[in-house]
A and B are shown apart, each in its own frame.
Chain A
Amino acid sequence: ETGVTQSPTHLIKTRGQQVTLRCSSQSGHNTVSWYQQALGQGPQFIFQYYREEENGRGNFPPRFSGLQFPNYSSELNVNALELDDSALYLCASKASGGYNEQFFGPGTRLTVL
């Protein structure tokens, strides 16, 4: 069974640029969530996708957007990057129903200069 994978592992961008992060969900999982983890803090919920539609969003501006594809993989897009966007971005997947047991990928470390 393949777990959650994310790419790239590290990324360096400059302020104002745009970035796309990718996530492949665990086999059999149809729901994907994205979290932002700033240094020294707990993960913060960005949004969730279920059946290719956004289903829940945290307190993040519209320049954070996403997609989910028919194979349940997902993208996180961030426009107009700011210095405070520097963080570890975590993707988590889960099967529908159940007890909300989410499985996390290794994350993408984004540095904005």
Chain B
Amino acid sequence: QKEVEQDPGPLSVPEGAIVSLNCTYSNSAFQYFMWYRQYSRKGPELLMYTYSSGNKEDGRFTAQVDKSSKYISLFIRDSQPSDSATYLCAMETSYDKVIFGPGTSLSVIP
């Protein structure tokens, strides 16, 4: 079993839809959970991070962590064409070792 699993998609939604992106993980030592967004031919950029279980909201984005189920989610409300990108979940073990999921490719169709 891989440490972090994520449906690679591609996921295609109409503009204005609510998008749900998910990751599961196997290592219960993960403490910090992050979502990175990567546009085509660019480096990833941090979108959101959460510590331990719970929800965090930032504008149209909500990150959710359920440590008991080893499951994290990113919700995007009122999706826009500019949200079209690959979304990578990431988790931190100790020091600076961050494990990335394989990414979900999202297309928002106008």
Partners in one complex: no
Measured CB to CB, the residues of B under 8 A from A are none
Measured CB to CB, the residues of A under 8 A from B are none
